[in-house]
Amino acid sequence: MLMRNMSPEAGKQMISHKGARMAFQPRIRKGAFFEAAWRYGCRDFSVYNRTYISSTFSNPDDEYWNVIENVALWPAMGERQVEISGPDAGRFVQQLTPRDLSTCKVGQCKYVLITAPDGGVLCDPILLKLAEDRFWISTSDVDLELWAKGVRINSGMQVEIRDADVSVMQVQGPKSIALMTDLFGDTIPDLKYYWMTAVPYHGGELVISRTGWSGEFGYEIYLSDPALGDRLFDDLMQAGAPYGAAPGSVNQTRRIESGILSMGVDMTPMENPFEIGLGRLVQLDKPHDFIGRRALERLAEEPLSRRLAGFVVHGEKLERNEDVWSFRKDGEDAGKLTSLAHSPRLQRNIGIGLVRADLAEAGTEVTVDTWDGARTATVTPMPFLRKRQAMDARELLRRVREEAARA
């Protein structure tokens, strides 16, 4: 079932569930890095695409600074790859997304939206073009494989659709360039942002893309052979030792600082691309047809009733939210705060949310329900702090190695 993030109930008492435990069971997949993650100290897991995904290894503050200053290894095992292959794979994938893929080359990655017939956002995956007739869709936490199989039924196209059984390791942070070059060779710095390559690894190969969810420079490694999960984790830790590599989730605070959205949280099937600021991915000036085109053509001409925005929530440090929190203006419902974190660098509570369009201008104040009762929140431009994903790889490598030599 595709997830829907319902509006909060006004006045409902907030109860923290910090310290909750999870029982492991056969119906949830473990992924290739699960045992290594456990061995390296992870005891906090969540479920993402019916797969355990590692959360905090140490504590969120240490992991925040490590991804900013060094390199973080996040076994993102729930980031599943839906493989679409066959003679009509290109046409079929284009039917799923409003982003024009006509110029997408083999070896290139694209950030895309998957839209519903009513224009709602079903998913915001990274698309990897492995061959002219073979794609991976690196999916958010939705049943994209089942959706694609449903679309295929009446498409008349010859495609195969399956879970590729790939486990993803995110290698993120400014020193990831040195780790990856040391381990996989001197061609790594030539890999452009949003491109991928294949490298040999113990009789097989790994796919490496210059992408990630942290807002920092980094890579994602796609492992197809689950038997190599432990070895790859150990190799990354060993190669990363001179650069302060440590396991940890790609920090929620850093992604909010960067203005990176989370599917199922900041956007759901009840939001359209224009409301969440991703209208650039809806290319209606191109001739290709796709699911939701008619609805999005209409929505593009209509004024927005709500908009996604950044917020500063004033007052003392707040723990991050478990549910969406209500915005109010002059006692009336004004929207919802979807993501919240306390930024150690800004020393502020920062968040992302959907607010009435007439209240979305920077500097506007609203009231938000929090753990500590009502607080004032101010609309603030995003990103709160700049992204560093597109830095020059060769220059970054030179600086990291110079720093390591001085240490």
Tens digits of per-residue pLDDT, 243-296?
999 999 878 899 999 999 999 999 999 999 999 999 999 999 999 999 999 999
Given this model, what pLDDT does residue 201 score? Answer: 98
pLDDT greater than 90 at residue 92: yes
Question: Are the CB atoms for 220 and 211 separated by under 8 Å?
Answer: yes
Give dist(CA 398, CA 76) in Å, integer.
Answer: 28
Look at residue 144 and give its three-state secondary structure: helix
CA–CA gap between residue 315 and residue 317 (Å, rounded): 7
Give the per-residue pLDDT at 11.
Answer: 54
Q: Beta strand 245-247 with 71-75: parallel, antiparallel or unpaired?
A: parallel
DSSP letter, residue 14 = P
Whether residue 18 has pLDDT greater than 90: no
Q: What angle do CA 255, 31, 59 make, to 5 degrees?
A: 40
Q: Is the peptide bond before 383 cis (omega within 30 degrees of 0)?
A: yes
pLDDT of residue 378: 98
Exposure string of 29-44, with b = 16+ CB inside 10 Å and e = fewer, is bbbbbbebbeebebee
> Looking at residue 5, what is its pLDDT?
37
For residue 335, pLDDT over 70 is answered with yes
Tell me the pLDDT tens digit for each residue of 33-85. Answer: 999 999 999 999 999 999 999 988 998 999 999 999 999 999 999 999 999 99
Domains annotated for the chain, with CATH where assigned, are 34-79+166-255 (3.30.1360.120), 81-162 (3.30.70.1400)
